[in-house]
Amino acid sequence: MDNSTPAEPVVLLDRLAEKASLLARSLNAAADAAAADAGLTKADADVLVTLHDAPEHRLKPSTLATLCDLSSGGTSNVILRLTRAGYVNREAHLHDGRSSWAQLTPEGENVARFVLESAASGRATLLRRWPDGLAHTLDELLDTALRHIEDHSLR
């Protein structure tokens, strides 16, 4: 068995992964700061924004758990906290008595919009520090890299 594979490409990929992770953390920090400014946890903000983007501003808790990458218990805790804050209502499912909806209230819509706008403003501040065209170039390069990874994984 030949173990003479050069380490340099692997090290380069590791550095690339670290840099991509750092970039993601920097961009996510804007969302985290927006959540904190609204007095919310990251999970609270994720649920509010997900409900804001959902049809009729409502989803089943199980769908919220999946979309927000939360456990069912964690989702229940977040919904309870948001209900107590007046941002979410729990409504019975009309056709399935075993199920319910988490429905964004008008106040919850306002808070979700604040979080979205604040996060967008924070990200825009970061992007203004970049040279013109860099975001577009990175987007294209990452699309190309991911496409090659996906193509190869299908073989």
CB 59 within 8 A of CB 102: yes
pLDDT tens by residue, 26-75: 989 999 999 999 999 999 999 999 999 999 999 999 999 999 999 999 99
Please name the fold of domain 25-153: Arc Repressor Mutant, subunit A (1.10.10)
Tell me the per-residue pLDDT of 94-137, one tens digit each, with 9 for 90 and over.
Answer: 666 567 899 999 999 999 999 999 999 999 999 999 999 999 99
Answering whether pTM is above 0.75, one says yes
Domain extent listing, the chain = 25-153
